[in-house]
Amino acid sequence: MRKALRPRAGLMSPWLLASLLLIAAPAYCKTPAAPARAPAAQPAAAHPPGTAIASAHSLSTQAGLEIVRQGGNAFDAAIAVSSTLSVVEPISSGIGGGGFFLLHDAKTGRDVFLDARETAPAAATPAAYLDAKGELNRDRATNGPWSAGIPGLPAALVHLAQKYGKLPLKTSLAPAIRIAREGFEVYPRLEKGYGSRREVMERYRGTREVFLADGSPPKAGEILKQPDLARTLELLAAKGYDGFYRGDVGAKLLAAVKEEGGQWKPEELSGYKVVEREPLRLKYRGWDIVTAPPPSSGGVAMAEILQILEGWDISKLDPAHRTHIIAEAMRRAYRDRTIYLGDPDFVKMPLARLTSRDYAAGLRATIHPEKATPSDLLSGQPAPLEDDETTHFSIIDAQGNRVSATQTVNLLYGSGMVAPGTGVLLNNEMDDFALRPGTPNAFGVMGFAANAPEPGKRMLSSMTPSFLESKDKVIAVGAPGGSRIITQVMLAVLAYDAGLAPQQVAAQPRIHHQWMPDAISAEAGALDADTVAKLQAMGHKVNAGESTWGNLQTVMWDKAANTLSGGTDPRNPVGQADVLSSRP
Ligand code: DON
């Protein structure tokens, strides 16, 4: 089978070529981060020559570098980047939401997965989300107080400062506080997203106070100020955990949820805890990959996909067979995601089996080299699309510390509900639970018992912040995009393995398959017409030329050349990768 799929060696795959051409096209041109270059060191350098940060907004990237200039490390910078994103990207993430922070502490050599995922309030039973006919009440699942889990992000910022940072929390939060108070320029994505969530957002007094402060919705080019959010961040800076989860802000959050008909118990808010988990580790063709364990599905799915793919030298496959094999691997991993995965503190999962090479070999053996496997033939229940909001940032500092963090309020502007007087926009992460078994959520994702809501449980996520390490390279990478996060990160592994630079990795056209719907999704430029025709002849449904998705942010330390560089997704015009050299 492997032989039959092998084309002549030495030809660059047209898919790769397309990626490279696309990067050269003006529409996709962004200024890649200038590498901070030190004289080539042999053997590999012990420390990076500065700090590299890639994030979805230039203000958050610069906030991180500002903190490094003040003597902060990657973890202090992560607090600055994260909190600034919460201010300038309310569409994607915020202190009313949650996230995952993958950390590498250079001093101890330890990798930690900091889980700041939201938790379910006890009132959020499956029955609470059903309408009179027993159908899923979609409005309740995605809008307003019932859609919100207990926020995790503020606790993560406090934890990062206390345990890993060098600077006081107050210092690292200062840029976000300043930008919340002085305002920032609204960009088109924010305006457009507001338009699509306007009806929901304007239901809530607190939201109107922030977004209609001057009488009309935010418009690109205008300055958006968030004085209440500045004050909430100041309380967090001054009082730490208690500044958000208890006291004035905590009381206002509880009152707002109650006023809008929701039910959070005070102890659910005041008792929220981040969890430090062991990251999931896997190997792929000479790369050591450190990535997200449950309650993310990302690491498990990526382990399955990459270990299935190891049966081929996929760089040598022609585009149609390459896409076929990758899609078949994705299909199988997403089936397992739907059935088995959930919060490890609540469900038993066959993780050792799902991530083993033997299991991957078994799945590989079910892939026909020339024919698509209809998803219906794989046992289990179906699981389709999510949308692409959320945000990711990647940092490597001069000591070799690393952060790869993905944070979210889930859908555009989360629940749409700001708690009056706090500036805190609550998430709508409850929709990531399987609120009604087998019923798709807003974006078609479904699940079963493993991901049913229970008091205090974390909803299954696809967020996949990751580190990749080879003999010469250290990389931090991740992306938003709902269920398409996992395949974006997995394609980034393949691209780095093929020798692409970070900016090329961020720009490369994407494909995706998630078992259900049973179709390959492809961005424009990912598959040419001939490849699509060949895939169709194998039995694949191909949705070629879908609108783009994702917003990948990555940084790389090339140890052999001792350079730092970054890649920011050109699909998002306000992102920025930048490098601060520590050597004048
Ligand atoms: O945790 C997750 O997987 C989702 N809440 C992420 C959402 C996302 O990327 C935005 N897109 N819908």
Please report the DSSP string for 85-150 in residue order. HHHH-TTT--TTSEEEEEEEETTTTEEEEEEE--B--TT--GGGGB-TTSSB-HHHHHSSGGGPPB
Distance CA 261, CA 204 (A): 12
Kindly give the distance from the C-alpha atom of residue 102 to the centroid of ligand 1, in angstroms, as a whole number: 17
Kindly give the distance from the C-alpha atom of residue 480 to the centroid of ligand 1, in angstroms, as a whole number: 7
Q: Is 137 annotated as a binding residue?
A: no
Q: Is 432 annotated as a binding residue?
A: yes
- CA-nearest residue, atom 9 of ligand 1: 482
Q: Which among 51, 171, 74 has a CA at the least distance from the CA of 404?
A: 74
Q: Are 545 and 571 in contact (CB under 8 A)?
A: no
Q: Are 30 and 570 in contact (CB under 8 A)?
A: yes
Residues of the chain scoring pLDDT < 70:
1-43, 379-388, 442-445, 583-584
Question: What are residue 529's phi and psi, to 5 degrees?
Answer: -60, -40
Q: At residue 85, what is the residue type?
A: L
- CA-nearest residue, atom 6 of ligand 1: 482
pLDDT at 5: 34
Ligand 1 mutation pick, 115, 408, 430, 569, max ligand atoms within 8 A of CB: 408
Question: Considering the entire predicted model, what is its pTM?
Answer: 0.92
Per-residue model confidence as pLDDT tens digits over 527-569: 999 999 999 999 999 999 888 999 999 999 999 999 999 999 9
Q: Is 76 annotated as a binding residue?
A: no
Other CB atoms closer than 10 Å to residue 379's CB: what's the count?
7
Q: Which among 6, 4, 1 has a CA at the least distance from the CA of 313?
A: 6
Q: Which among 325, 363, 374 has a CA at the least distance from the CA of 540?
A: 374
Please tell me which residue in 390, 391, 406, 487 is annotated as part of the active site.
Answer: 390
Ligand 1 mutation pick, 338, 386, 461, 548, max ligand atoms within 8 A of CB: 386
Kindly give the distance from the C-alpha atom of residue 191 to the centroid of ligand 1, in angstroms, as a whole number: 20
Ligand 1 mutation pick, 89, 338, 410, max ligand atoms within 8 A of CB: 410
Which residues belong to CATH 3.60.20.40 in the chain?
A: 14-33+278-385+463-581
pLDDT at 376: 79
Distances (CA, A) of 397 to 75, 76, 85, 169, 494: 9, 11, 19, 18, 25
Q: Running DSSP on this structure, what letter comes out for residue 337?
A: H
Distance CA 551, CA 492 (A): 12
Q: Measured between alpha carbons, how far apart are the two ends of the chain, in Å?
A: 55
- Whether 554 sits among the annotated catalytic residues: the reply is no
Kindly give the distance from the C-alpha atom of residue 43 to the centroid of ligand 1, in angstroms, as a whole number: 41
Residues 6+ apart with CB under 8 A from 571: 548, 549, 550, 551
Domain 14-33+278-385+463-581 has CATH 3.60.20.40: yes
pLDDT at 538: 98
Kindly give the distance from the C-alpha atom of residue 443 to the centroid of ligand 1, in angstroms, as a whole number: 10
Other CB atoms closer than 10 Å to residue 106's CB: what's the count?
18
Closest ligand 1 atom number to CA of residue 481: 9
Q: Is 565 annotated as a binding residue?
A: no
Residue given tokens 């450190």 in the structure block: 290
Helices marked H in 452-562 — which ranges? 484-497, 502-507, 529-537
